[in-house]
Amino acid sequence: MGIELAQVDTIIDKHHADQRALISLLLDIQDQFYFLPQEALERVADKVGVPSVQVYQVARFYKAFSLKPRGKHLLTVCVGTACHVRGGERLVDQLSRVLAVAPGETTDDKLFTLQTVNCLGCCALGPVMVVDGTYYGKMSATKIDKVLSKYRNGEEVADDD
Amino acid sequence: MVNLKINDKEIIVAEGTRLLDAIKMAGTDLPTLCNHPDLEPYGGCRLCSVEVSRNGKSWVTTACNTLVEEGLTVQTESDRAVSTRALMADLILSRTPNVPAVQRIASSLGVDEPRFATTNPEETCVLCGLCIRACHDVAKKEVLGFVERGPDRQVTMAFETYDAQACDDCNQCITYCPTGAITRLKGLPIGRKWYAHAKKWARTRQAVQYGLLAFFALLFVTTSQALQLPINISNLFSRLDPLQAIMANIAARELLPLYLPAMLTLIATILFGRVWCGWVCPLGAILQLFGPVGTRKMQSWFRMIKYGLLIVLFVMALFGSLAFMWLDPITILVRGVADPIGVILGIIEMPGFKVGTLFSMVMLVLVLGLNLIEKRFWCRYLCPLGALLGLGSKFDWIRRRVNEMSCVQCGDCVKTCPMGAINPETIQNDPAECVMCLDCADAPCPKTAITYGRQPTPRWNHEFDPGRREFIGGTATAAAGVVLLNSGLFQDKANDLIRPPGVISEKAFLDKCIRCDQCVQACATHALHPVTFGSTWDAFWTPAINGELGYCDYNCNRCGQVCPAGAIPALPLEAKRKQVMGVAVLAPSLCVNCMVCEKVCQLKAIDRIEIQKEGKLKPLPVVDPNKCNGCGQCEYKCPAPPAIKVYAPGKAPKRT
Amino acid sequence: MTRLNTFAELEQWRTQAAAARAQNEKCVTVCGGTGCRAYGSEKVWEAFRAEIAKQQANVKLNYQVKVTGCHGFCEKGPLVVIRPAQIFYTRVQVKDVPKIVSDTLIGGKVIERLLATDPQTNEHVVHEHDVPFYKHQSRLLLNMNGEIDPTRIEEYVALGGYGAFAKALSNMSGEQVIAQVKASKLRGRGGAGFPTGVKWETCRNQPGEVKYVVCNADEGDPGAYMDRSLIEGNPHRLIEGLAIGAYAIGAQEGYVYIRHEYPLAVKTLELAIKQAEECGLLGKNILGTKFNFTLHVQLGAGAFVCGEETALMASIEGRVGEPMPRPPFPAEKGLWGKPTNINNVKSWSSIPIIISQGADQFAKLGTENSKGTTIFSLVGKINNTGLVEVPMGVTLRHMVYDIGGGISQGKKFKALQTGGPSGGCIPESLLDLPLDYENLNAVGSMMGSGGMIVMDEETCMVNIAKYFLDFTKFESCGKCTACREGVRQMNTILERITQGEGEEGDIELLETMGAAIQDGALCALGRTAPNPVLSTIRYFRDEYTAHIQEQKCPAGVCKSLITFYIIAEKCNGCTLCARNCTEAAITGELHQLHVIDDAKCARCGVCREVCTHDAVGVR
């Protein structure tokens, strides 16, 4: 998979190739490509002057990073305590079953990636699910289909176009 | 200086001393997994947890990364400290239940069985981080690192791929790894150069060993097919055999030049240990092929048997007897196949002989059978040649070396040793037991700690040194044996064996014959066979001509050519034809007057006279004893055996 | 914005800003906190702007629309306050906006429907400060959150912002600042409660020119979000606190380590730093003095352990967040080996208050050993979810019932969890406990960073313990045995118990393990990880016993131990459950009694959720 290294370079330059900014830098790369491509990480190691093993370690340690391409839509389910006591676990279970993926995985059709997050800090809305930055508060297992179909249909419409 | 109290003992140590070291000074040694004096403390394994208190406050901390402080009180055996350490040991053991280094530490902390669930019984990595710190701090490289977190944490390289530019194979990580997990990481060829080197040598050994076995087989075929080789090397393995050489020379009381090549083996042994056993011996090569490896099932005194047998052979040789040389491994192998192959090929069909012939396989079958108990059972416990070379190996120059800085006593090498030579506790080995097969330095050592090189280890004081007991015992047994056997108790009947051509004195023959039976194999007409029962004890498995099965071919002198000891002289064909083995005697009453004997006798030792028989004039053969050399052709070809029969010199019955 | 070069210029600016604020006193403030945004408050303020602009043509409306930080009463968002009348509207939707503009802004009438109600009296409450949720609070740190627009520095300056910093710079030595902080008896609000002044002093006394101050805004405790709200609502106070701290300690550089999961807070903070730099409140020769201070923002990328200070520093350095053994403490050897002082957002934000009001004033609040206020995020099965700031020493019961408005859906209270994954569960019997560091530690929990999760009778305590260990298991960095293996194994045992495979002796084993892990772990994350288990065993042992001995989950949560069934007398055969069952485990004709096939049932609970007649039971 070829990626635009120039884009990576731009991000590196934005952070002045500063080792201290490694995590912010990788977050920016992830925002750009939706995951961390190996070439990009190698480039970062090279230009920032950090051993590539350190870049790789950081990329594997922090939960925000993904080394695998993700699905078109990112489903983030909050499993913070407040959401948990309000049924967040059931929500994740149900999503896992409906999509046939475990948290952290991407569906076969590459449409959805399911992931969990510890707390989004909007506990009043719990259980919360975020799809591509859109919050769905007070979620329940019954609402899953409705939300998912919205994104599934979006996909179909896009195909028809 | 800092004053502190460790387990109620006041001690004074230098400022900046680590608590772990201070505790050691105070006489308590706490086991650790993640600590190494060369490296910064890490505080990962938590095995050195102790309870410390100061100003009335007490807490548990790890001793490795705590510096001594004035007025600190340390309790290594308080309930909290002990239960913390025990839980840590239990947790690590549950993670890696099959790692001996961990088992030992856990056991020292009172944990013999893991209490918790094991995810992967194959797991060996304890995530101590020593490899990574060694890579960063000792080797000054940035190759290894931890990825993931919590239970998914693992050691790897960037992108889980080996980067030859980043890693220069310095192997520091391997040296510091406390379990050997580092070389077992999936997809990362850590230590690859070392292993390639070790593999190359192990493969070389295999090539040499099995090449020589093939060569031995080739020699066997050429010998038994009476094919002439450009040079006479059909008995090469015997002549390289120092046991045969020494015993034959002693017993014969003369220098047998044929055995000079054995000096090579002795020199090789002084240089490299029992390389004969591991690289050359064809019996060893066969025994290497099967059988349970790496065990130590027999008690250690079994290893002394071979020394005992060596001493027996030696003492008997001093007495001038080689009667038990059938214990030599080359003779076992040669004899085990030389004659029995005749049965297998259908050459020997007579039932009575079949049994006797097959009986010469008994040693070989026994040795092979014992191999099912443990690989190289014979070589470990019984082989007198191995004992002899083992004694030489104690003085060898190159031997197996274990880097004690690196070895973690995982015992993986122990499991591959065909000789069971490696002590499972110390991982050291007695050079007398090591056959230098190099298998242990191949893939098994996860720590690349095994090398072969010059080693200033003691000549003696190894695990299986034979002592005075073996020497005295062996001597006494041998002496008693000689006396007993010579007492006549076991003398069955007078010696009337027909020996191969060129043998003049039975005594001189027995003093040299090492019972290898290679002459049997070489005998083109299958006349020679090993003597079994029904003769004297010291003739057991020596060769003799059996007239019913064959005769000494007029145009063959191969037995003398192949005899490694010169017990059968290597004579030119002309000279050989003149050698008297016995004399043919006719029993006229049985003779059918066919005169075949006359026809076949190439020495023209058979004349004919006319006699009146059944009213007809018939010819009767007459043997001229002065011309007859007892080759037995007449006997073999006689259609009415035993009308004419060869007897040993002086053993012919009076003519009736 | 012009650069300020003297103290006088700052005061002059303040006077101007205050005047401008007074002029624009009429405004509609819409909550722009993450919670309200998730409810759609962005659309609400846009609607207000559009509607006001539209009405402006007809009527002269002097109302401005101001987007503020989090007000705290997240349960009722989006929140709108009409100032200066302080009319407090809750759950405002876009469709309500024209009516508010026409009725309230123009007509001066209150729309009752949108008012909050007092759950006790069931009466509508008009003004924000009269709402019971706010009435019982003492908002010291959160006071400006609903008042100011966090994206404008002059709003903060107008209310006295950066005054404390100027005071310290002009009149106080570093020692004097530290003396004030010590006198205030402020304790670290990150959870452990170490006296802040003492920490500063240690750092100041370290040799060396280069020192750092760090703000720990890696608010990883699930259920806690006050740090985020403070940054989103009032970033300048944090900056001011850090600047004062840097001055006192002798640092010239500072870092704010903040979770990337808080994008709005990051944006707000970065903007605030930029503004402060432009005004000369950060940077070189601040306010004409020789003091220099630069502040950087560093993002966390999703690792709870980075809330531990040594791990946090490793993360700032661009490495994996792995804790280091202490000592050496960060005050001796911190970022890049230099003395470093790390405090929580709440601690730093308290500093300007202490300096400007005086230590004595601050120390008047709270208890003997715990001074000042603390913020809790009251969440879970509670009526009034939101941020609550109270003086130290109030009782838990006061928190739950007076401020929180009791348990949602009228269920029974079971436990209160504080301290996140490091804390413990507090049972009803201890609800009268006055809240402070020592008391919470004594009952097996801890202050933590301030999450307070309320649990009702439908919460299984074994499941909760397992939940927290699940959390710590994956958040453990994996460095030390105690945490990596110990927590994992405790979790495995709990998993067994919740699956009905618990064994005799499991509880005791968990207790032994917990004690040894508390002693044996490397960092605070590991040392406190067993707390949720130990505290639930301590107070809810009977639930564990029920799981192990009777294979029963009394709260009806643990899937392996429960069955769903239709309560015959309640079922009206509406088929709702059958239609929603993903496993087709429910059969029944319309108007007929439905039946759940237990073999097919996946125990997802959907049927129970959808049933409008409470006809699905669990046993």
- Give yes or no for C228 touching A (CB within 8 A): yes
Last residue of a domain, one of A34, A61, A88: A61
B570/B628 same-domain check:
no
A154/A83 same-domain check:
yes
Query: Which residues does residue C564 pair with via DSSP β-bridges, in sequence order?
Result: C618
Domain C373-456 grouped into CATH 3.30.499.10: no
A105/A146 same-domain check:
yes
Is residue B48 within 8 Å of B63, Cβ to Cβ?
yes
- Domain coordinates in residue numbering, chain C: 17-135, 161-364, 373-456, 461-549, 563-618
- Give yes or no for B127 touching C (CB within 8 A): yes
- B111 within some domain: no
A57/A106 same-domain check:
no
B631/B553 same-domain check:
no
CA distance C230 to C148: 12
Q: Do domains C17-135 and C373-456 have the same CATH topology?
A: no
DSSP state of C343: E
In this prediction, residue B165 carries a pLDDT of 86
**C398: confidence class by pLDDT, cuts 50, 70, 90:** very high
Query: Lowest-confidence range among B127-136, B213-222, C441-450?
Result: C441-450
Pairing of strands B144-147, B154-157: antiparallel
Which of chain A's residues have a Cβ under 8 Å away from the Cβ of C222? 79-84, 118-119
In this prediction, residue A159 carries a pLDDT of 35
B237/B367 same-domain check:
yes
Q: Domain of A25? A: 5-61
Q: Which architecture characterizes domain C563-618 according to CATH?
A: 2-Layer Sandwich (3.30)
CB contact under 8 A, B145 and A53: yes
Is residue A114 within 8 Å of A147, Cβ to Cβ?
no
pLDDT, tens digit only, all 161 positions of chain A? 457 889 999 999 999 988 888 999 999 999 888 889 999 999 999 999 999 999 999 999 998 898 988 888 889 998 888 888 788 888 898 899 889 999 888 998 888 999 888 877 777 787 889 888 888 888 887 788 888 888 887 654 433 33
- Chain segment B577-593, per-residue pLDDT in tens: 889 999 999 888 888 88
- Residues near A149 by beta carbon (within 8 Å), at least 6 away in sequence: none
Closest partner residue to C486 among B49, B91, B148, by Cβ?
Answer: B91
A97/A136 same-domain check:
yes
- Nearest residue to B160 (alpha-carbon basis) of C305, A41, A113: A41
What phi and psi, each to the nearest 5 degrees, are found at residue B259?
-90, 10
The percentage of chain C sitting over the pLDDT mark of 90, rounded to a whole number, equals: 59
A21/A80 same-domain check:
no
Domain C17-135 grouped into CATH 3.40.50.300: no
- Chain segment C341-369, per-residue pLDDT in tens: 999 999 999 999 999 999 999 998 888 88
If one counts every other C-beta atom within 10 angstroms of the C-beta of residue B228, the result is: 9
Q: Strand locations in B112-212, DSSP E?
A: 144-147, 154-157
Q: Which architecture characterizes domain C461-549 according to CATH?
A: Up-down Bundle (1.20)
A72, burial (CB in 10 Å: exposed 0-12, middle 13-18, buried 19+): middle
B563/B631 same-domain check:
no
Is residue B495 within 8 Å of B539, Cβ to Cβ?
yes
What is the three-state SS of B414-435?
HHHCCCCCECCCCCCECCCCCC
Q: How far is A22 from chain C (nearest CA, A)?
A: 5
Residue type, B290: F
Which of chain A's residues have a Cβ under 8 Å away from the Cβ of B147? 56-57, 60-61
Q: How far is B159 from chain A (nearest CA, A)?
A: 6
Separation of CA C136 from chain center: 18
Give the total number of structural domains in chain B: 5
Nearest-by-CA chain B residue for C512: B83
In this prediction, residue B260 carries a pLDDT of 93
Q: How far is B91 from chain A (nearest CA, A)?
A: 23
- A151 within some domain: yes
- A67 within some domain: no
CA B257 to each of CA B502, B577, C9: distance values in angstroms, whole numbers, following the listed order: 18, 24, 115
B392/B521 same-domain check:
no
- A66 within some domain: no
- A127 within some domain: yes
Average pLDDT of chain B to the nearest whole number: 89
CB contact under 8 A, B142 and A57: no
B205/B280 same-domain check:
yes
Is residue B453 within 8 Å of B401, Cβ to Cβ?
yes
Q: State which H helix or E strand residue A136 sits in.
A: strand A134-136
Domain of residue B568, CATH code: 3.30.70
- B110 within some domain: no
- B71 within some domain: yes
- Let me know the angle formed at the C-alpha of A61 by A57 and A65, rounded to the nearest 5 degrees: 100
CB contact under 8 A, A80 and C222: yes
Q: Domain of B147? A: 130-190
Last residue of a domain, one of A25, A41, A61: A61
In this prediction, residue A47 carries a pLDDT of 93
B181/B220 same-domain check:
no
What is the three-state SS of B352-412?
HHHHHHHHCCHHHHHHHHHCCCCCCHHHHHHCHHHHHHHHHHCCCCEEEEECCCCCCCCCH
DSSP symbols for B563-601: -SSSSS----HHHHHT----EEEE-TTT-----HHHHH-
Residue type, B456: P
Tokens for B127, please give them.
């995530």
Residue B212, pLDDT > 70, answer yes
Last residue of a domain, one of A61, A82, A109: A61
What is the sign of the dihedral through the CA atoms of C451, C452, C458 and C462?
A: positive
Is residue C164 within 8 Å of C238, Cβ to Cβ?
no
Which of chain B's residues have a Cβ under 8 Å away from the Cβ of A38? 159
Average pLDDT over residues C516-541: 94
Residue B349, pLDDT > 80, answer no
Nearest-by-CA chain A residue for B161: A53
CA distance A105 to A95: 12
CB contact under 8 A, C520 and B43: no
Residue C322, pLDDT > 80, answer yes
CA distance C197 to C313: 21
Domain C161-364 grouped into CATH 3.30.70.920: no
B543/B625 same-domain check:
no
In this prediction, residue A2 carries a pLDDT of 59
C102, burial (CB in 10 Å: exposed 0-12, middle 13-18, buried 19+): middle
- Let me know the angle formed at the C-alpha of B437 by B436 and B439, rounded to the nearest 5 degrees: 125
CA distance C385 to C379: 5
- B122 within some domain: no
Average pLDDT over residues C104-114: 89
CA distance A100 to A98: 6
Average pLDDT over residues C110-139: 87
A155/A79 same-domain check:
yes
Model ipTM over 0.95: no
- A141 within some domain: yes
Query: Lowest-confidence range among B497-506, C196-205, C275-284?
Result: B497-506
A51/A80 same-domain check:
no
In this prediction, residue B495 carries a pLDDT of 64
Query: Which residues does residue C586 pair with via DSSP β-bridges, in sequence order?
Result: C596
CA distance C346 to C338: 24
B344/B271 same-domain check:
yes
A87/A147 same-domain check:
yes
Residue C270, pLDDT > 60, answer yes
If one counts every other C-beta atom within 10 angstroms of the C-beta of residue C228, the result is: 31
Domain of residue A99, CATH code: 3.40.30.10
Last residue of a domain, one of B162, B190, B218: B190
Closest partner residue to C38 among A82, A135, A141, by Cβ?
Answer: A135
- Residues near A150 by beta carbon (within 8 Å), at least 6 away in sequence: none
Domain of residue B62, CATH code: 3.10.20.740
- Give yes or no for B142 touching A (CB within 8 A): yes
CA distance C466 to C533: 8
A57/A81 same-domain check:
no
Closest partner residue to C604 among A81, A93, A125, by Cβ?
Answer: A93
Residue B489, pLDDT > 80, answer no
- B368 within some domain: yes
Q: Which of the pair, B42 or C605, is modelled with greater confidence?
A: B42
A145/A85 same-domain check:
yes
Residue whose token pair is 């080739």: B218
Which of chain C's residues have a Cβ under 8 Å away from the Cβ of B151? 473-474, 476, 478, 484-485, 488
Helices (H), A62-110: 81-85, 88-99
Last residue of a domain, one of B576, B609, B637: B576
**C255: confidence class by pLDDT, cuts 50, 70, 90:** very high
**B337: confidence class by pLDDT, cuts 50, 70, 90:** confident
Is residue C254 within 8 Å of C242, Cβ to Cβ?
yes
- Residues near B364 by beta carbon (within 8 Å), at least 6 away in sequence: B332, B333, B335, B336, B337
Give the total number of structural domains in chain A: 2
Query: Which residues does residue B61 pair with via DSSP β-bridges, in sequence order?
Result: B50
B70/B152 same-domain check:
no
B387/B323 same-domain check:
yes
Q: Give chains near C: 3+ CB pairs under 8 A.
A: A, B
- A68 within some domain: no
Letter string b/e over residues B369-389, b meaning 16 or more CB atoms within 10 A of that residue's CB: ebbeebbbbbbbbbbbbbbbb
CB contact under 8 A, B46 and C492: no
Last residue of a domain, one of B521, B547, B576: B576
Closest partner residue to C304 among A27, A118, A141, by Cβ?
Answer: A118
Tell me which range, B391-400, C339-348, C411-420, is most confidently predicted by mean pLDDT: C339-348
Q: Which of the pair, B644 or A83, is modelled with greater confidence?
A: B644
Residue C200, pLDDT > 90, answer yes
Is residue B399 within 8 Å of B253, Cβ to Cβ?
no
In this prediction, residue C278 carries a pLDDT of 94
CA distance B462 to B477: 25
CA distance C508 to C261: 39
CA distance C319 to A133: 28
Give chain B's largest Cα–Cα span. Answer: 136
B546/B625 same-domain check:
no
Q: Which of A123, A125, A128, A146 to mutate to test the interface with C (most CBs of C within 10 A)?
A: A123
Closest partner residue to A53 among B148, B149, B157, by Cβ?
Answer: B157
- Chain segment B277-288, per-residue pLDDT in tens: 999 999 999 999
